[in-house]
Structure 1
Amino acid sequence: MGVNDGHADASATRVEFTFDASDSGLPFVEVAARESCSVRFEELVPRGADRYAEFFSVRDADPDRVLAHLESVDGLDAELITGGSDGGLFEFLLTGRDCPVVTLAEAGALPRGVRSVDGGARIVAEVPGSGDVGAAVDAFADAYPSAELVSKREGEGPTTIFAERDLLSALDRRLTDRQRVAIEAAHESGYYEWPREATAEEVADELGVAGATFHKHLRAAERKLIAALAEYAGE
């Protein structure tokens, strides 16, 4: 299956496409099927060159049981960020294994909605107007040949990882001063634009701090922000 539309229309800010898929080899699909629960992708953030952290929220499942299952998955480091009696927010770091979220990111598409319920998955992504929609769709279809393209449409508005209004609201409530400085600098520099306009090392240099220090505060800020957004989305 292939969609060879070439580059997105320059007059459209973005193109959104949706796949339906079912792959029991994917950790988030496995969890949904095993626990008869809902697993929703919340956010993807960079973790250095060609590495990403994925955040998924799980509802209607015991978070300790979910974590125990994830810890047995080869090539996956999982951590429970926040949790309650019937779900939680998890961070996934993948090494040497496929994942639709990362496949999309590396093809130039920004994942916008990934959800699995009882073993089925719906995956929504968008490509900015300057991107190659056909290449992104074909890359995903090649990686997941059983997936079905169910829709493709043009939209307006800028493509960023974090919406500015949500970012600023969460900044006011949850972050320490150093975390606030780190994520504000990253946001203003274009670190969260898609494609990224600055690396973490460049932002750290601009702030005059060590890269490790910047990464520490930025990662803590990201986790708090994503937890806040996940809570808002789940209400």
Structure 2
Amino acid sequence: MIDECLVVEFVVTGDDCPLAEASKTIGVRIDCQPPQHRDDGYALLRFSTPKGSNGLTDFLDADDRIRYLHVSTTDGRQNFRCLSKHPCVVHELTNVGFMAESLRYRDGSATFTGAVVGHDVLQGVLEAAGETVGMQLQRIHQLGSEDENVVAQQWDVTPAQERALRTASEMGYFGVPRKTTASEVAEKLGISKSAFLERIHRAERSLFSQMFA
């Protein structure tokens, strides 16, 4: 058994996927969850950008590789869902052992964060990437207990909702009895009490719908 798990971060260049091209053309940072590949050859993409990222929707709508684009706005961010028929580099890396956590696109480049089990698997991931795109290893460290949930679980919540959940949990908001109030957590986050409660409720609804679907 191999018990060494490594958290790694790569910077990828040369990827011609729709999100990489959009980030360069529109000049916006795109935060993406790992794509879900379907049997019909399409990949389900879920990603978000700051609210007011003008031009991204039109750019993707005009890309004939994108299908069924849906856009919504929550907590000051635009959330996108679509199907892409463009083969994703992450899929190739997953085939050789890369467990993707998050993808971030900016100025045509991408940062992939995830985990690999052992240095041999890491070497295989680097070799696979070298055959398709340019990849530079940015950071690497051993997986600790504080990282396990981040890498192992992919919940459909926004970054703002995740911060609210994490801060509330760390402050004991979900404890029995509670160790803090909604107002105190909201102050820590720098938002209003109503905004904090809305984020928590939206996150809970998303989590529960996935858990009990």
TM-score w.r.t. the length of structure 1 is 0.55
1:29 offset after TM fit, Å?
1.6
Matches within 5 A, 1:181-200: 183-184=210-211
Match of 1:39 among 26, 30, 36: 30
SS in 1 for 2:152: coil
TM-superposed CA distance for 1:43, in Å, is: 4.4
Number of equivalent positions = 167
Match of 2:66 in 1: 76
Q: Report Cα offsets for 1:117-166 as digits up to 9, x if no partner.
A: 2333222221246983322232222221x222233332134442337x96
C-alpha displacement of 1:98:
2.6
Paired residue for 1:196?
none
Q: Matches of 1:147 and 1:130 in 2, distance apart? A: 17
Aligned match of 2:128:
139
Cα deviation 1:208-227 (Å, max 9, x = unaligned) = xxxxxxxxxx5xxxxxxxxx
Q: Normalising by structure 2, report the TM-score.
A: 0.60
Q: Structure 1: how far apart are the matches of 2:109 and 2:203? A: 37
CA positional deviation for 1:110: 1.9
Q: Does 1:106 align with 2:95?
A: yes
3-state SS, counterpart of residue 143 of structure 1: coil
| Superposed displacement of residue 39, structure 1 | 0.9
**Equivalent position of 2:2 in the other structure:** 10
1:201 matched residue in structure 2: none
Deviations 1:48-92 (A, max 9, x none): 587642211122512xx32221123233325234237x8511124
Using a 3 Å threshold, how does the CA distance of structure 1 residues 71 and 21 change in structure 2: closer, same or farther? same
Secondary structure of the residue that 1:132 maps to in structure 2?
helix
For 2:63, what is the secondary structure of its paired residue? Answer: coil
What one-letter code is carried by the residue in structure 1 that aligns with 2:69? E
Q: Which residue of 2 aligns with 1:174?
A: 205
Give aligned-pair identity as a percent. 14
Partner of 1:10, secondary structure, is: coil
Match of 1:90 in 2: 80
State the 1:26 CA deviation: 2.1
Instruction: Indicate the residue corresponding to 1:161 in structure 2.
Output: 153
Correspondence 1:28 to 2:19: yes
* CA contact 1:108–1:136 (8 Å) conserved in 2: yes
Q: Is the 8 A contact 2:24 2:106 kept in 1?
A: yes
Instruction: Sort the Cα spacing of 1:103 and 1:10 in 2 relative to 1 into closer, same or farther, 3 A.
Output: same
Q: Tell me: CA distance 1:44–1:131, structure 2 relative to 1, closer, same or farther (3 Å).
A: farther
Instruction: Show structure 2 runs of 5+ residues with no match.
Output: 156-161, 166-199
Structure 2 partner of 1:214: none
